[in-house]
A and B are shown apart, each in its own frame.
Chain A
Amino acid sequence: MNVLLFGPELYFLGAALIFFSLTLKRKVQVKADYRIALALAAGGVAVSVLCLFQQGELFFKAYKVDLFSQIFKFALALGFFLVITISHNLAQIEERYHAEFYLFLTTTTIGMMMLVSAVELLTIYVALELSSYSLYILVPLRRGDGIDVEAGIKYLFIGAVSSGFMLFGLSYIFGATHSTYLTEIMPKMAQLVQSPIGVLGLLFSLAGFFFKLSVFPFHFWAPDVYQGAANQVTTFIATASKAAAVAVLLRLVALGSSYGYNFTQVLVMLSIISMTLGNLVAIVQKDFKRMLAYSSIAHAGVFLMGVLTIKEAGYIGAVYYALAYLVMNFTVFMVLSEVAKDGRDLKIVELAGLWKRSPILGLSLILGIFALAGVPPSIGFTGKLLIFTSAMNQGYFWLVLIGAVNGTISLYYYLRVVYAAFFMDPGDLPPVTVSFPTRLLNYALVAIIIGFGVFPDQIVRLAQAAVKTVL
């Protein structure tokens, strides 16, 4: 067996082991832990890049390594790395928990990596739970007066009910197709066109991933958790975790390709409601993270729009947008965590005068925000347009129209952020000092956001090659 096939997972398992040993140390050494974590995370990215073009099947075909999964593993490793980069000010997590923080972040990454490669229902379920439980633990790790545990408990119970529904759905799929392997399920699902069990089983099975992606009506956790969790944790939930969810959705929704409208109409409705609800409610938010949570709900709708086409173009769009979303959302969160160095919940107005307090962060923020809003030249714009294009190709005129109108609505609250950062008087808010590495990171992110937005071809081709194995 080629070790590289399982490379990223093994690497992160090893990393988890190291972090575990760190948790056992009696003495708390924050700086040292951080350096180790950073090195390990960078190594993770390297390994995932190294394994990018691996192909093969493992564990009796329960585990498929292909370009699709490897791209997402790279995204996850990248997301992990990025989150670690902003973890140098983990102020809201007690210092004695830092090693645990890294550990659980690693385990959730492992879970997600397995999730994107898993092609067997039980594997998917367990991997999902692995990634979720680590996050359930990470959320209430925050120092706080109770909103962290409140968020944690809400997250957990909504997750539990969602996965209950999902498990029920999976059981029906198992019953109807007699198999837990996607490759075997796929042809049998096509035979179930006449029976409601196929569509409904599948829809219920998607619940767990809708929950992860915070699609309506599984979105209720998002605002609370985004606000309640430590900034770094929120960042991870908002970036890497979404990418993993999109990946699994792409795999699972492909099962419904033969159901046509019957199946997709539900997704269309969920997409529309997610977008609209997310955008409308985001308008009235005052807490930055909470606003971003609603923005993520709206974005879930956009992802869903690409997914529900169940066609190559849409899948390419979704993959592209997932990668794009990871970068642009991270950019915004990075700014957030840099500004809120003490890890507090940032109100939007606290961004006031950011251009003056730190021009580089201001630049990153405005680009990240505009990318989220789908304003060119940015990956956000290109990705969104690719998704819209594919949806329109499938004839979802109204969906695209509503999506486009939603883009306008979303601009309203995004612009409020820009307004705060670029116009409002900083008052007595202190300047934000940015360390040199962070500065570099900023430049890199800016370059990525613009560069791949204007020159998307490489990514699109990669995505195209990747989704071939999924459909």
Chain B
Amino acid sequence: MTEHPTSFPYLTCMLLSPVVGLTILLFLKEEWDFLIKAVSLVSAGLSLALAIFTFVAYDKTLGGLQFVEKYEWVKTFGITYFVGVEGLNAPLLLLTGIVIFTGVLTMWELKNRVKEYFIFMLALVTGVFGVFMTYDMFFFFLFYEIAVVPMYILILIWGSTRKEYAAMKLTLYLMAGSGLIIPGILLLYSTSGLFTFNMVLLHGVKFSPWIQKVAFVMMFFGFGVLAAVWPFHTWSPVGHVAAPTAVSMLHAGVLMKLGSFAILRVAMYLCPEGFVYWKQLMAFLATAGIVYGVFVGLAQTDLKYVIGYSSVSHMGIVCLGLATGTVDGLNGSLFQMFAHGIMTALFFSAVGYIYDRTHTRDIHELGGLSKIMPVASAFFITAALCGAGVPGMASFWAELLVFIAAVKVYPVQGLLAIAALVVGALFALRVVQTSFFNEPNPKFMHFEDVSPFLGLPRMILIGTLIFFGFFPQVMVSLIKTAVVPFIQGM
């Protein structure tokens, strides 16, 4: 992979923007509500701006790794601070930027322990940015854990519905995944003979098949937990239900992508033979997740549970795309990571608004919300339609690519996954119908619709979905610049 150094540390700035933000927050008084939010918004906005910049400024004809920054960190152990942007992570950086920015806006009404909330949220975001941009396994894992752990507190304090259980379960589950990841990463590190954590260098090493198989499967399951690979998905609906709005947004929108991205970035990148050995299993689990997610979602009555299971299903699609190991599949998979991220963020932000008002998420207790808050409902319905795979939304393209690629490689799984779309539609529309259509619940008649200010973040998300729904090539052409060499490298 060619590396193009940068003259200005864009990526470091992107990474440090939330760090600086949270450091400032540390010294602000709890009472300075507006200032706290403003600082968070500015730091998130700065990250977003830089993410957009790198997304746009990435030179597709040049390809390779751009905006590279590389410093020896711990020479003795071969740790390098190595960040860069390529087609694989540029969309995800953008996604993170968008979701955190809208996430901050979404939580503008937060009253309870505002300062701490934004501190932890920004910490989490730092981790996410870090994972996406780093090419050093040490930092990768470091950021990975930074991204995971604040969730515990975020859910615990600002969550709802069995939050203690959910927070503990989520954290422990993900940490158990880390328990598999560390040995996997270290196995590669130590058997490479290079004693470096630099993934680009490690990529050049031909690991023995046995090592590859072991390391791959460990990392697949380890990261797969975060990507909610079936059957390691149960933390995700529970966690999403319990988490506060913006955290659900971040978590389902971005964090789960961390898992799938890591499978791609670390496991598949470094252990191609391991991937070939295990890909049938991957495809099977992915398909199982797709089918299973929609069927279980069909029986849920809590809006967030529904979204949670739809995430399981959609992440299955991501995983299925990865399992194909073809350019189309990977394109689709990465696109789906992006699209699903935005979509779920929209989902959760819509539900968050509704829940903040009605204090219920039971789809039967709601009902006819379209009458009461048409805009808020429109947000949810848009997300639901996107989830059902309606064209004109970004995720349609992603799913299209994945399915075509999947049928080529795994006909049976591919067709099953496609067939699950029917249930997927039923499942999305069932919720929409039950909670947004029909006669409104008189209890909720007095609630106001979304104000333009609070509508803004949701509109940004919808806009993104639709923009990439109409111009998928913007995304795919960028992704492709990295995926093609990636597949060749395997």
Contact = CB atoms under 8 A, between A and B. Distances in A.
Interface of A: 313, 316, 355, 363, 366, 370, 375-377, 381-382, 385-386, 388-389, 392-393, 395, 397, 400-401, 404-408, 411-412, 415, 418-419, 422-423, 455-457, 460-461, 464
B175 interface: yes
A350 B102 CA distance: 38
B38 interface: no
Contact of A461 (B76, B152, B157, B182): B76
B335 interface: no
B145 interface: yes
Interface stretch (B185-193, B234-242, B306-314): B185-193
B141 A404 contact: no
10 contacts: A355-B116, A381-B142, A392-B187, A401-B180, A404-B182, A405-B176, A407-B182, A408-B179, A412-B172, A419-B156
Contacts of A455: 73
A392 B183 contact: yes
Given A385-B141, A408-B172, A423-B157, A313 B77 contact: yes
A172 to B, nearest CB: 35
Given A401-B183, A460-B77, A407 B178 contact: yes
Contacts of B175: 407-408, 411
Interface string B378-419: 000000000000000000000000000000000000000000
Given A377-B146, A392-B186, A404-B182, A419 B74 contact: no
Nearest to A394: B190
Contacts of B153: 366, 418, 422
Interface SS, A side? helix
Given A389-B190, A418-B152, A404 B157 contact: no
A457 B75 contact: yes
Interface string B178-216: 111111001101100001000000000000000000000
B195 A385 contact: no
A376, A418, A422 — most chain B CB neighbours (10 Å)? A376
Contacts of B180: 401, 404
Given A366-B153, A389-B186, 18 more contacts: A355-B116, A363-B26, A370-B149, A385-B182, A392-B187, A395-B190, A397-B183, A400-B186, A401-B180, A404-B181, A405-B179, A408-B175, A411-B172, A412-B168, A419-B164, A423-B156, A456-B73, A460-B76
B179 A404 contact: yes
Nearest to A406: B179
Interface of B: 26, 72-77, 113, 116, 138, 141-143, 145-146, 149, 152-153, 156-157, 164, 168, 171-172, 175-176, 178-183, 186-187, 189-190, 195
A386 B76 CA distance: 10
Contacts, number: 101
A457 B73 contact: yes
Nearest to A461: B76
B146 A376 contact: yes
Given A411-B175, A456-B74, A404 B116 contact: no
Given A389-B190, A404-B183, A375 B145 contact: yes
Contact of A375 (B74, B149, B157, B195): B149
A393 B74 contact: no
Contacts of B168: 412, 415, 419
Contact of B142 (A376, A392, A457): A376
Nearest to B186: A392
Nearest to A384: B182
Contact of A388 (B143, B146, B152, B182): B182
A393 B195 CA distance: 9
A370 B146 CA distance: 10
A381 B144 CA distance: 12
B82 to A, nearest CB: 15
A48 to B, nearest CB: 24
A414 B458 CA distance: 37
Contact of B76 (A377, A412, A419, A464): A464
Nearest to B146: A376
A17 B433 CA distance: 83
Contact of B186 (A388, A418, A461, A464): A388
B77 A404 contact: no
Nearest to B145: A376
